[in-house]
Structure 1
Amino acid sequence: MTEIKVPELAESITEGTIAQWLKQVGDQVEQGEAVLELETDKVNIEVNSEHSGVLQEQMKQPGDTVEVGEVVAMLGEGSADSAAPKAEEAPAAPKEETAKPAEEKPAAKEDTEATSSEKPVASPAARKRARELGIDLNEVQSRDPLGRVRTEDVERQAASKNQPKPAAKEASAPKAQQPTNPDKPVERIPMSRRRQTIAKHLVEAQHTAAMLTTFNEVDLTKVMDLRKRRKQSFQDKHDVRLGFMSFFTKAVVGALKEFPMLNAEIQGNEILKKQYYDIGIAVAATEGLVVPVVRNADRLSFAQIEREINTLAGKAKDNTLQLKDLQGGSFTITNGGVFGSLVSTPILNAPQVGILGMHTIQRRPVVVDDQDTVEVRPMMYIALSYDHRIVDGSTAVQFLVTIKNMLEDPEQLLLEG
């Protein structure tokens, strides 16, 4: 028998949740073939078998939390065809043979005969747990479509046997579980591991950092004019659409170079100032918000940035992001405007100390300073949330003004970004 263990995942990931088994007991498994899918804090990972054989036992079920190095399954030798009958017939023969000579113990004989006549199909782990709890496998109701008894079925049977004992509590139990109004139905949905992690990190960021948000607005007239004039030639040349994210990414990089404290993080009593510009781009995925990272954004052209963002967004949509796509990052940009958000206060992506929030573009009347007239312009509110522990308010305001100035004069992006 060969053990299948949870492999090393990443430095920051020590455990995961079994999302689903890709192989069932009795299935043939080839070396390198995926056996189960593991949901971690950041991405889903397939656990592959290092050997070939037949899956003999699943020691954990979907929804169970497992740690790195923990044994989750047992792999046996042989083929699936030869292993299937052995798994069912091997335990039955000894029980039928031992039932006959045990005449001096009538009670044991009756139990053994009953078991052999109606022998349930159960995993070795379930049988062991049933013996420990004193549970008769014939009384256990299985939820498996094929009728196989699993460890969780045994646990459920044991719990149901223990519940009826205190009569007073049993009588009051329905009252405790009945605040739900039948006319107002509700649905209980367990939080996924990723959703739990997102919630935990966001709360920790608010509890740990001295978070503050400052706002400004940007006149995107020149950016939109530039996109309108160049978008077709840009797409023809680079085979990628010219969007807004490359402009904002370039503007953020230029502002970070001028105000490096927003490209830092706190480690104990020290400030770690980063000399690179890995910009995280928040993406709404099915399982929850993820922040893939555009590496070395300062060295990329507009086309390269747009292409990288499109690739990462596609991976997020298809749930194929890898850990390396999400790790690191020195600053984050989030665009709530794609969903219609007019203004918001983004939460820091710890341990980063700055995050820029983009919002929807609205055509609003504004006063044109150099002409002293009112014109309708495409305006966007932008928000910068920052950690006030190492970023002063004046620095944050100037950082945001720098981004505003670059976007209102896009030619600066070629020089400053």
Structure 2
Amino acid sequence: MKEIKVPELAESITEGTIAEWLVNKGDQVEKGDPILELETDKVNVEVNADASGIIAELLKDEGDDVEVGDVIAKVDENGEASGSDGDDTSGEEESKEDDSNKEKEESKPEQKQDSSDAQSQEPSKKDTKDVVATPAARKRARELGIDLSEISARDPLGRIRPEDVDAAAKGNQKEQSKPSSKSSSSDDKSKKQEKKKEEPKKTEFDKPVERIKMSRRRQTIAKRLVEAQQESAMLTTFNEVDMTNVMKLRSERKESFQKKHDIKLGFMSFFTKAAVGALKEFPLINAEIQGNEIIQKKFYDIGMAVSTDEGLVVPVVRDADRLDFAGIEKGIADLATKARNKELQLDDLQGGSFTITNGGIFGSMLSTPILNSPQVGILGLHNIEKRPKVMPDDSIQARPMMYIALSYDHRIVDGKEAVQFLRRIKEMIEDPYDLLLEG
């Protein structure tokens, strides 16, 4: 019997939560097959079987916390798909034989059909291993009894997702006959009985509530946000930017830019380039504190806050100072897609020097972003709205304006530097033609 343990994941990760088992007891696995999805404080990772055989036992349940080195399952390397085990006692073998004899007697009329079904299923199982699918999709397919090799993926990369499996299941249901009224009525009775059993228990609240366990990632986010406020002297300064020239430039160049680079020209590349330029002029905002020392970074790895169903993550665009506008836009798009599809790797999240967060995509007008420790600066972008602005000739015009915010660690960044940094970004965004040429 081979024990499967939680492997070493990364230097900074020592524990995780079992998000989803991808196999059941009695399933046949090959060495290297993914058997569970483990949620860590940064990314979800698959744990693979390190031996071939039959899953003899699952020692942990979904939602359980585990540490590196914990035994989570056992694989019988000599087992067969029928579930026989060389370590079983004779009594267990006899009971299995009795069960198999009963099954033979009950299934004689259908024996030929069962054997043909088994033969037809064998090749599909082999094909399924070669199909590119998310762990959640594989589990969903097993629950619904659907062959992954027969599902067409809507993902441009050909990766099958749970919604593709559900769509295939709905197609199969349309082809099947409707259930009888008797079976539906019995189902209704059983559902009513289940509802009675699931009545909420009494709590300290007078009215109904629902208790939801925080995911490991949400717990980590909560912990680090509180730490950032407790361990830094955080302060926020604000300014507003006239987006007229950026919007005009995007309108002029968007078609030719997309044709040339196969990516849209967005606002984030302008702000990323402006942030890099400002960081070069005010290097303490591109630093961090370690003990009694200031670590001033000579690289520009810019974190981009991305909202996902499981919480905020901050993947990093590496060497943003060396990328052109197209390179930045492609990097942001790639990281956002990976974040929403739960495909981020640890390398995507580590080592950022400065962060940009854009609450404007959700309609936020003004906010005070919290530092992404140990970084000492974060730039917050907000919604663009037309507001009256007094022009140099004293005329008043309706202009597309955006509030921008810089939260900074006052321990090493003075207010003067923070204000000048934000003003420099304002100047570069309001004169984007020079920024585009310099970029």
In the superposition, the TM-score normalised over structure 2's length comes to 0.73
The 1-side partners of 2:12 and 2:85 are apart by 42
SS at match of 2:235: strand
- Tell me which residue corresponds to 1:380: 402
Partner AA of 2:326 in structure 1:
A
- Tell me which residue corresponds to 2:298: 275
- Tell me which residue corresponds to 1:363: 386
Q: Which residues of structure 2 form unaligned runs of 5+? A: 96-142, 144-200
Q: How does 1:3-402 map to 2 (within 5 A)?
A: 3-82=3-82, 84-86=83-85, 90=89, 92-93=91-92, 177-181=202-206, 184-369=207-392, 371-402=393-424
Partner AA of 1:47 in structure 2:
V
- Tell me which residue corresponds to 1:404: 426
Q: Among the aligned pairs, what percent are the same residue? A: 67
Superimposed CA distance per residue, residues 316-357 of structure 1 (whole angstroms, 9 cap, x where no aligned partner)? 111111111111100000000000000000000000000000
Q: Is the 8 A contact 1:27 1:80 kept in 2?
A: no
The 2-side partners of 1:25 and 1:93 are apart by 17
SS at match of 2:81: helix
Q: Which moved more, 1:359-368 or 1:18-27?
A: 18-27
Q: How far is 1:54 from its partner?
A: 1.4
Q: Is the 8 A contact 2:55 2:74 kept in 1?
A: yes
Superimposed CA distance per residue, residues 190-233 of structure 1 (whole angstroms, 9 cap, x where no aligned partner)? 11111001000000000001000000000011000000111111
The 2-side partners of 1:196 and 1:398 are apart by 36
The 2-side partners of 1:24 and 1:400 are apart by 55
Superimposed CA distance per residue, residues 42-85 of structure 1 (whole angstroms, 9 cap, x where no aligned partner)? 11100011221111122211111111122211112124324x14
Q: Is the 8 A contact 1:254 1:416 kept in 2?
A: no
SS at match of 2:227: helix
Q: How far is 1:412 from its partner?
A: 3.1
SS at match of 2:205: coil
Q: Is the 8 A contact 1:54 1:79 kept in 2?
A: yes
Partner AA of 1:409 in structure 2:
D
Q: How far is 1:413 from its partner?
A: 1.6
Q: Which residues of structure 1 form unaligned runs of 5+? A: 97-144, 146-175
Q: Is the 8 A contact 1:219 1:379 kept in 2?
A: yes
The 2-side partners of 1:91 and 1:347 are apart by 64
The 1-side partners of 2:314 and 2:268 are apart by 14
Q: CA RMSD in A?
A: 2.0
Q: How far is 1:29 from its partner?
A: 1.1
Partner AA of 1:207 in structure 2:
Q
Partner AA of 1:210 in structure 2:
A
Superimposed CA distance per residue, residues 281-314 of structure 1 (whole angstroms, 9 cap, x where no aligned partner)? 0000111101110000000010111011111111
Number of residue-to-residue matches in the alignment: 335
SS at match of 1:359: strand
Q: Is the 8 A contact 2:32 2:48 kept in 1?
A: yes
Q: How far is 1:180 from its partner?
A: 2.9
Larger Rg: 1 or 2? Answer: 1
In the superposition, the TM-score normalised over structure 1's length comes to 0.77
